[in-house]
Amino acid sequence: MKNLFDSELKVMEIIWEKEPVSAKEISLIAAENIGWNKNTTYTVIKKLEAKGFIKREEPGFICTSVCKREEIQRSEANSLVDKLFGGSKKALFSALIGDEKLSREEIAELKELIEKKL
């Protein structure tokens, strides 16, 4: 799966929250929350459509996602692990928890997640 640029991810977040949503409404939300003008938002929408992340339908340029938020999160996380940690999830977890103290509950939750993968 292709990676998303930060600007594309911002628009995807709007779409996931509001879909189906018109391109006009996306541009209004982006203007209010991000400070973008309409042309910037429409350009990002076109890029997302060209990459196959969303589809637009008439009337009203109604946008819907083609992929789920969780798919993108997984893909982006794997890309981060590969890029910064040589593919090592262990190295990622070590960096994430570092010197931070975890509660017993957090440790138990992490153990449970890991055991489900065994």
For each of the chain's 118 residues, which pLDDT tens digit applies? 678 999 999 999 999 999 999 999 999 999 999 999 999 999 999 999 999 999 999 888 999 999 999 999 999 999 999 999 999 988 988 888 887 888 899 889 988 988 988 7
Beta bridge partners of 65: 54
Query: Is 99 inside any structural domain?
Result: no
Query: Is 47 inside any structural domain?
Result: yes
Cα-atom radius of gyration of the chain, to the nearest Å?
Answer: 18
pLDDT score, position 1:
65
Element (H, E) at 65: strand 62-65
Query: Is 57 inside any structural domain?
Result: yes
What is the extent of the structural domain holding 66?
1-87
Return d(Cα 48, Cα 43) in angstroms, integer: 9
Return d(Cα 13, Cα 86) in angstroms, integer: 28
pLDDT score, position 99:
77
Query: Is 111 inside any structural domain?
Result: no
Which CATH number belongs to the domain containing residue 69 in this structure?
A: 1.10.10.10
Query: Is 8 inside any structural domain?
Result: yes
Q: How many domains does the chain have?
A: 1
Query: Is 114 inside any structural domain?
Result: no
pLDDT score, position 98:
82
Return d(Cα 59, Cα 55) in angstroms, integer: 13
pLDDT score, position 37:
96
Give every strand in the sheet of 21-22, ordered side by side: 21-22, 62-65, 54-57
